Amino acid sequence: MSQLEPYLTRKTAVLAARRADYETKPDSALITLKASSRVAGITGARPTRMGEIVFVTDSAPGLAGHALGPTAPEMLLGALASCLVHTYLIQAALLDIPLDHVEVEASGRLDMTGVVGLPYEQPPRMQNITYTARVESSAPPEAIERMHALVEETCPVLNTIRYPVDVRRE
């Protein structure tokens, strides 16, 4: 028995229920997600609400922060890593692949010159984002490779970063 088998069994049942819901009511598959953030007093820290959870985000001390929480670019990488892990769990459940462990590490580079008011050639953004996925499973290598491919096809955060959508101020 794999270490994650109890969770994957529950995940499989929940995914079957969601598929049934979405087949009978296709419009219910399109969900709206929201996040909000504000500055907290004189600290510059930013309580950021995502769903019902509030995280404190902050700048690094080099930008007058107090390192009270992750920076926004770190949150982007964290969202990518978390979504990839979750997508591995989903695909393992759908493909009936036993898992003992899944871990993703994401990294990227950020040219800070434009952020601090220096001239820049391109608007500041994360560049060279990479991730490493460590998957432990008793499944054959070809099943794991199929899962890797499906994760890359179906991970919402990965696809949002790879194929950007319009973002506009309202």
The answer to whether the beta carbons of residues 72 and 123 sit under 8 Å apart is: no
The whole-number pLDDT of residue 41 equals: 86
- List of residues 6+ apart from 34 with CB closer than 8 A: 51
Q: What is the pLDDT of residues 134-153, one digit of tens each?
A: 999 999 999 999 999 999 99
The whole-number pLDDT of residue 59 equals: 93
The answer to whether the beta carbons of residues 21 and 106 sit under 8 Å apart is: no
The answer to whether the beta carbons of residues 124 and 112 sit under 8 Å apart is: yes
> What is the pTM for the complete model shown?
0.94
The whole-number pLDDT of residue 164 equals: 86
The residue behind tokens 């964290």 is: 78
Query: Over the chain, what is the mean pLDDT?
Result: 96
Rounded mean pLDDT of 45-57?
A: 96
